[in-house]
Structure 1
Amino acid sequence: MQRFGSVIQVKPEKLEEYKKLHKNAWQGVLDMITKCHIRNYSIYYKDGYLFSYYEYIGNDYDADMAKMAADPTTQKWWDYCEPCQEPLDTRGPGEWWANMEEVFHHD
């Protein structure tokens, strides 16, 4: 199992819209997250930033992420979510949400 943390800014005028979208997340999107071996997925908010955490339990992360990105329902969902977000200037190449380095973990 791999743990992933990532961060992105949320546009202040879009915060309530973003919260509403996730309060009523589409079942097809949730199903795809599960099919792509993601578990324990959470998004937190603080001071203009969204923090995402999830656990990946599959064997081929790149293939599963490509599968998710190719899904028409997920693409439509992203069309609604992405205008609410502002990526960090320091994100890596090809990243929307900036991946974070894990510096501590305790079970």
Structure 2
Amino acid sequence: MSWLAPVHPPSEPKAQPSPSSSVSQAQPQPQPQPQSQPEDARRIHQIVRLNPQDYAAYKECHAKVWPEVVAQIRASNIADYSIAYDRDTSLLFASFKYTGRDFEADMAKMRAHEPTRRWWAMTDAFQQSVNPGAVSSEKAGTVGEDGKKVPGWWKECEELFYLP
């Protein structure tokens, strides 16, 4: 899936002794190592348009995200999730890290979770997808009547730069 950008833990530079120093120096203290991530961990970026008149309601509901939805997001191997808003374009920008091994299976579990489906129905009503053919968050990734995969409600974006 080209829209999934690999997340690689930052590599720590190794301390090198100074070539001009002939005097024995104390050994440098070991640096803490970053937590390892699965090799297939991905950062995912998405956009959708927010109806400007729904800004206050959208912001308010995200200040009080339902605990069942938060639990399901975490159970679906999604972490470091944020949504930003650009008032000039009315675009919402989502970014998160997927740390699981089977994205499609984890998204199917999310679609099967009743509280998440109700959450999506509520929040989709505030939004307009910019993805041609998108139907809803719930239908994203499923097979439509025409036998084709239904596009995501949120449009996936390509990551062009990442500095860990």
TM-score bucket (shorter structure): over 0.9
Q: TM-score of the superposition, structure 1-length normalised?
A: 0.95
Name the TM-score, length of structure 2 as normaliser: 0.63
Q: Quick one: which of 33, 39, 42 aligns to 1:2?
A: 42
- Distance, in Å, in 2 between the alignment partners of 1:46 and 1:96 is 18
CA contact (8 A) 2:46 2:157 kept: yes
| 1:90 Cα offset (Å) | 5.0
CA–CA separation in structure 2 for the residues paired with 1:4 and 1:88: 17
Contact 1:6–1:99 under 8 Å retained in 2:
yes
Describe the shift of the 1:89–1:38 C-alpha distance in structure 2 as closer, same or farther (beyond 3 A).
closer
- 1:10 is displaced (CA, Å) by 0.1
Larger radius of gyration, structure 1 or 2? 2
Shift of 1:106: 1.0
The ranges of structure 1 where at least 4 consecutive aligned residues each deviate by more than 6 angstroms after the TM superposition are none
Partner SS state of residue 68, structure 2: helix
More strand by share: 1
**Residues of 2 paired with 1:29 and 1:9: CA distance?**
21
User: Which residues of structure 1 form unaligned runs of 5+?
Assistant: none
Q: Is the 8 A contact 1:36 1:64 kept in 2?
A: yes
Amino acid across the alignment from 2:56: E
> May I ask how many residue pairs the two structures share in their alignment?
107
Between the aligned partners of 2:100 and 2:131, the Cα distance in structure 1 is 30
Higher normalized helix content (fraction of residues)? 1
Q: Distance in 2 between matches of 1:17 and 1:61?
A: 30
| Structural mapping, 1:15-30, within 5 Å | 15-30=55-70
The equivalences for 1:16-95 within 5 A come to 16-47=56-87, 48-90=90-132, 93-95=150-152
8 A Cα contact 1:8 1:49, kept in partner: yes
Counterpart Cα distance in 1 of 2:133 and 2:75: 26
Equivalent residue number for residue 154 of structure 2: 97
Structure 2 CA distance for partners of 1:16 and 1:86, relative to 1, 3 Å: same
Identity in percent: 32
